[in-house]
């Protein structure tokens, strides 16, 4: 019965759920997913280990590693002061290039792609019980796009409005290989991950359980 009413019938073609928000299902080919998953396991080796960021006294349920700049609530820094104090690993050039390709694919706008200089990546691992509450990505001082890549188990992703955490919002399914871009009028949309769907990671993506999400950001810092 569940299968009759689940969200697997949601669009699996590129679509724009609201102006400035772009969902490109399966944008990363399986080989690319697997390759990025291998990098994910390398990033987990340090210099900063994956950790649960503490927000307002509560540890998040995701495990996070950052590249380029370390994110801790309300600020970016070059050292992981809330973890082990180590300097954060550099942002790899291939990830910058991938971010530009993502902006190009989502917006069709070569100028926006060329002007995109992501300098931070927040890499989150969700086990099947992890979620992320409604929030805006707003620690960046410029309004360049946020590029989101998902690998592994599917998630229910909630895309909201720019004003508050409540309705109106819409629920989408982000599956392995999906690209999501927030830009323009959706750059500061509230968003959340309300559920991870166990046993949905495709064979060959490099991870058999749980979900990797990478968001690329341009901090505006130097
Ligand atoms: O996991 C996702 O799809 C979203 C992650 C996110 O919102 C964040 O890292 O700020
Ligand atoms: Fe976010």
CA–centroid distance, 122 to ligand 2, in Å, is 9
For the segment 52-75, what is each residue's pLDDT rounded down to a tens digit? 999 999 999 999 999 999 999 889
Mutate to test the pocket of ligand 1, among 148, 169, 217 (most ligand atoms within 8 A of CB): 148
Please check if 137 is assigned to a binding site: yes
Q: Could you give the CA distance from residue 86 to residue 70 in angstroms, rounded to a whole number?
A: 10
Which residues sit with their C-beta closer than 6 Å to ligand 1? 122, 124, 132, 137, 148, 150, 157, 174, 191, 193, 213, 215
Q: Which CATH superfamily is domain 24-217 in?
A: Alpha-ketoglutarate-dependent dioxygenase AlkB-like (2.60.120.590)
Residue nearest to atom 10 of ligand 1 (CA): 137
Would you state the pLDDT for residue 12?
Answer: 86
Low-confidence ranges of the chain (pLDDT < 70): 1-10
CA pair distance 150, 24, nearest whole angstrom: 11
Residue that has been written with the tokens 């340090």 in this structure: 46
The three state secondary structure string of 34-68 is: HHHHHHHHHHCCCCCCCECCEECCEECCCEEEEEC
Is the complex ipTM higher than 0.95?
yes
Q: Whose CA is nearest to atom 1 of ligand 1?
A: 213
Three-class secondary structure of residue 166 per DSSP: coil
Q: What is the pLDDT of residues 181-213, one digit of tens each?
A: 999 999 999 999 999 999 999 999 999 999 999
């Amino acid at each position: 019965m569940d299968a009759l009413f689940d969200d697997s019938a949601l669009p699996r073609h590129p679509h724009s759920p609201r102006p400035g928000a772009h969902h490109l299902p399966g944008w990363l080919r399986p080989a690319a997913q697997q390759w990025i998953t291998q990098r994910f396991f390398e990033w987990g080796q340090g210099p900063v280990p994956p950790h649960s960021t503490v927000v307002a006294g509560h540890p998040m349920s995701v495990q996070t590693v950052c590249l380029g700049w370390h994110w801790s609530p309300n600020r970016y820094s070059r050292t992981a002061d809330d973890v082990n104090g180590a300097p954060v690993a550099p942002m790899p050039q291939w990830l910058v290039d991938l971010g530009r390709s993502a902006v190009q694919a989502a917006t069709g706008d070569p100028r926006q792609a060329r002007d995109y200089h992501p300098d931070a990546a927040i890499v989150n691992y969700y086990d099947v019980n992890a979620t992320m509450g409604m929030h805006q990505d707003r620690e960046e001082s410029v309004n360049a796009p946020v590029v989101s890549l998902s690998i592994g188990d599917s998630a229910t992703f909630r895309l909201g409005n720019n004003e508050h955490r409540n309705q109106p919002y819409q629920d989408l399914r982000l599956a392995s290989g999906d690209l999501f871009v927030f830009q323009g009028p959706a750059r500061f949309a509230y968003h959340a991950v309300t559920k991870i769907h166990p046993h949905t990671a495709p064979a060959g993506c490099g991870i058999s359980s749980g979900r990797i999400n990478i968001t690329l950001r341009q901090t505006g810092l130097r």
